[in-house]
């Protein structure tokens, strides 16, 4: 009963100030599929949907921008709620182990373990770990003057439980609170690519480095690292002192700050964080192709004016936060480069008797097939109204692109209003050459033409 009461109390703190308005918050941008499928997945949650409404893909829009000013509307591939429950969450729990954590809740020194803040913090983690599902993963780190990973992220919470008892009181030389630098180290060591990643930091005070004048760590650096690696930061204040900047750090990464004033509230904060993450939506959309490494994404509810923006780095598409890249990522990268080079250098120019489109990547389960081009106008789309119908891709519009043929010149030209690329370059209209690789909202085809038309083009 106490836990239920505390959970309701924490939920009230979580929602405080938001009851009167609807808000949408992007919590993580996952770029692990960007290189191979041009797909980005953005996680978000919405407060105060009317009548318990469950969103569908038709309720939202996804946009990207190279500069945060000019935006391009992008095709939404899918929207799912409960994906974190199905795929699991990776938690990294970071615990303040500075000297003040061995004080009582009111900040007074004590030698009674039952009164110490560290005891309450360990107890809260012990109560949280059994609530994880078999798909979840969890790790544990501590910090004072230095940051130390005492249990790398694993799928067995029992290993974390064993390491809790190994946390010891620091010496006087170690009894500092390198909060910002420790968060930076936690973010850069957080692997788990392609999963929902949550960093939970518990601290009882302010950032207190050994040498404040020489400490290079800042909250801004931690925010940028969180965006670069796709990690949400949650912060728990547990003590009489609060860091005045850490709240902005959490909110700018899509997370929140909790104030736990006693052991009962602390016990429910971890559960409140877990419940919020489980209620998130995950939208997958086809990313734009902008120059530069940083991209901005905006997710909005149609017709409500409710939206949120966050940035990510396209340069981390192979994306491990660790110092090395996994061997399989290198193999996949080399394979992708090989396929790209094949398209670029050889352009699939094999003998053919008719102009057509060869389907390379469509809906799951669709094999490679050839679509013939007939007449002077061929409409490509996702339903029966098109001349060439390619089913199975919900983002492919009914009339997504049109290919026009000029018989006098032997020239084919493609035009489209949807997200259209030819040879990896965004276009709205382009004269086609045999071997051109065309991506229409994620459906990939290759254009080919017969020898006669090739000779006309050369002549």
pLDDT tens per residue across span 80-114 = 999 999 999 999 999 998 888 999 988 899 999 99
d(CA 239, CA 25): 28
Residues 104 and 220 in one domain: yes
Q: How many angstroms from the chain centroid is the CA of residue 447?
A: 34
Q: Do 44 and 81 touch, CB atoms closer than 8 A?
A: no
Residues 240 and 387 in one domain: no
Query: Which secondary-structure segment (H or E) carries 157?
Result: helix 157-164
327 by DSSP, 3-state: which? helix
Residues 170 and 233 in one domain: yes
Q: What pLDDT, on the 0 to 100 scale, is given for residue 418?
A: 52
Q: What pLDDT, on the 0 to 100 scale, is given for residue 246?
A: 80
Flag whether 2 is in a domain: no
More confident residue, 46 or 364: 46
Q: How many angstroms from the chain centroid is the CA of residue 155?
A: 21
Q: What pLDDT, on the 0 to 100 scale, is given for residue 454?
A: 46
Residues 124 and 67 in one domain: no
Flag whether 155 is in a domain: yes
Flag whether 28 is in a domain: yes
346 by DSSP, 3-state: which? helix
**Residue 395: domain span:** 356-456
Q: Please determine, for residue 341, whether its predicted confidence score (pLDDT) is greater than 90.
A: no
| Number of Cα atoms under 13 Å in the Cβ half of residue 127 | 17
Residues 398 and 443 in one domain: yes
- Span 59-79, average pLDDT: 94
Flag whether 161 is in a domain: yes
Q: What is the total count of domains within the chain?
A: 3
d(CA 317, CA 289): 13
d(CA 75, CA 88): 26
Flag whether 271 is in a domain: no
d(CA 2, CA 122): 18
Residues ≥6 apart with Cβ < 8 Å to 199? 92, 94, 183, 186, 187, 190, 226, 231, 232, 233, 234, 255
With cut-offs at 50, 70 and 90, classify the pLDDT of residue 336. low
Q: N- to C-terminal Cα distance for the chain?
A: 85
Residues 75 and 111 in one domain: no
Q: Please determine, for residue 255, whether its predicted confidence score (pLDDT) is greater than 80.
A: yes
Q: How many angstroms from the chain centroid is the CA of residue 188?
A: 16
Least-confidence region, from 204-213, 255-264, 384-393? 204-213
Give, in degrees to the nearest 5, the angle at Cα 297 between 294 and 298.
Answer: 155
- Span 205-232, average pLDDT: 79
Residues 102 and 177 in one domain: yes
Answer with the one of 348, 373, 408 that is the final residue of a domain.
348
Q: Please determine, for residue 1, whether its predicted confidence score (pLDDT) is greater than 50.
A: no
Q: What are phi and psi of 137, to 5 degrees?
A: -130, 155
Flag whether 13 is in a domain: no
d(CA 42, CA 199): 17
Provide the CATH number for the domain around residue 328.
2.60.40
Provide the CATH number for the domain around residue 110.
3.40.50.410
Q: What is the pTM of this model?
A: 0.70
Percent of the chain residues topping a pLDDT of 70:
78
Q: Which residues of 367-393 are buried (b: 16+ CB within 10 A; e: fewer)?
A: eeeebebeeeebebbbeeebbbebeeb
Burial of 70 (0-12, 13-18, 19+ CB in 10 A): exposed
Q: Please report which residue ranges of 246-318 form alpha helices under DSSP H.
A: 246-252, 263-278
Least-confidence region, from 43-52, 195-204, 327-336? 327-336
Q: How high does pLDDT run on average in the chain?
A: 82
Q: Do 448 and 435 touch, CB atoms closer than 8 A?
A: yes
Residues 26 and 111 in one domain: no
Residues 145 and 58 in one domain: no
Q: Please determine, for residue 324, whether its predicted confidence score (pLDDT) is greater than 50.
A: no
d(CA 99, CA 168): 10
Token pair listed for 288? 């734009």
d(CA 126, CA 120): 10
d(CA 312, CA 228): 6
Residues 368 and 326 in one domain: no
Answer with the one of 224, 258, 292 that is the final residue of a domain.
258
With cut-offs at 50, 70 and 90, classify the pLDDT of residue 352. low
Flag whether 146 is in a domain: yes
Q: Which residues of 144-180 are buried (b: 16+ CB within 10 A; e: fewer)?
A: bbebebbbebeeebeebbeebeebeebeeebbbbbbb
Provide the CATH number for the domain around residue 387.
2.60.200.20
Token pair listed for 130? 């059994």
Q: What pLDDT, on the 0 to 100 scale, is given for residue 181?
A: 86
- Span 221-229, average pLDDT: 94
Give the CA radius of gyration of the chain.
Answer: 27
Flag whether 15 is in a domain: no
Residues 156 and 40 in one domain: no
Residues 64 and 132 in one domain: no
Nearest partner of 362 among 388, 333, 332, 330, judged by Cα = 388
Answer with the one of 348, 364, 387 that is the final residue of a domain.
348
What SS3 string covers 388-439?
Answer: EECCCCCCCCCCCEEEEEECCCCEEEEEECCCEEECCEECCEEECCCCCEEE
């Amino acid at each position: 009963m106490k836990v239920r009461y505390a959970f309701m109390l924490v939920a009230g703190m979580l929602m405080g100030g938001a009851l009167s308005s609807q808000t949408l918050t992007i919590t993580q941008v996952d770029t692990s599929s960007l290189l191979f499928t041009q797909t980005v997945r953005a996680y978000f949650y919405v407060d105060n949907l009317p009548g318990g409404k469950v969103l569908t893909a038709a309720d939202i829009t996804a946009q990207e921008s190279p500069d945060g000013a000019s935006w391009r509307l992008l095709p939404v591939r899918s929207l799912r709620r409960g994906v974190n429950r199905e795929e699991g969450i990776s938690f990294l729990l970071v615990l303040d182990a500075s000297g003040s954590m061995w004080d009582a809740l009111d900040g007074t020194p004590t030698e009674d373990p039952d009164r110490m803040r560290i005891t309450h913090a360990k107890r809260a983690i012990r109560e949280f770990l059994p609530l994880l599902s078999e798909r979840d993963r969890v790790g544990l780190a501590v910090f004072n003057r230095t940051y130390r990973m005492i249990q790398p992220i694993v799928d067995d919470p029992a290993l974390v439980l064993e390491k809790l008892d190994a946390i010891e009181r620091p010496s006087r030389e170690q009894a500092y609170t390198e909060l910002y630098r420790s968060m930076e180290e936690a973010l850069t060591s957080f692997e788990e690519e392609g999963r929902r990643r949550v960093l939970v930091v518990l601290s009882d005070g302010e950032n207190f480095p050994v040498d404040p004048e020489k400490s290079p760590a800042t909250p801004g650096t931690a925010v940028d690292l969180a965006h670069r690696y796709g990690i949400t930061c949650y912060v728990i204040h547990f003590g009489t002192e609060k860091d005045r900047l850490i709240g902005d750090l959490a909110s700018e990464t899509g997370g929140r700050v909790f104030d736990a004033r006693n052991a009962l509230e602390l016990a429910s904060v971890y559960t409140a964080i877990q419940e919020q993450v489980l209620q998130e939506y995950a939208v997958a959309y086809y990313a734009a192709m902008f120059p530069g490494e940083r991209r901005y994404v905006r997710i909005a509810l149609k017709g409500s004016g409710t939206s949120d923006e966050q940035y990510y780095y396209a340069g981390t598409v192979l994306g491990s936060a660790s110092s090395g890249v996994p061997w399989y990522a290198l193999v996949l990268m080399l394979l992708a480069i090989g396929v790209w080079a094949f398209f670029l250098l050889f352009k699939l120019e094999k003998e053919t008797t008719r102009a057509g489109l060869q389907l390379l990547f469509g809906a799951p389960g669709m094999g490679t097939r050839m679509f013939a081009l007939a007449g002077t106008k061929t409409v490509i789309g996702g339903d029966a109204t098109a001349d060439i119908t390619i089913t199975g891709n919900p983002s492919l519009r009914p009339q997504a692109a049109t290919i026009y043929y000029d018989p006098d010149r032997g020239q084919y030209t493609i035009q489209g209003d949807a997200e259209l690329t030819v040879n990896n370059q965004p276009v709205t209209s382009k004269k086609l050459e045999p071997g051109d690789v065309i991506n229409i909202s994620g459906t990939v085809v290759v254009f080919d033409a017969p020898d006669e038309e090739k000779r006309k083009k050369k002549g």
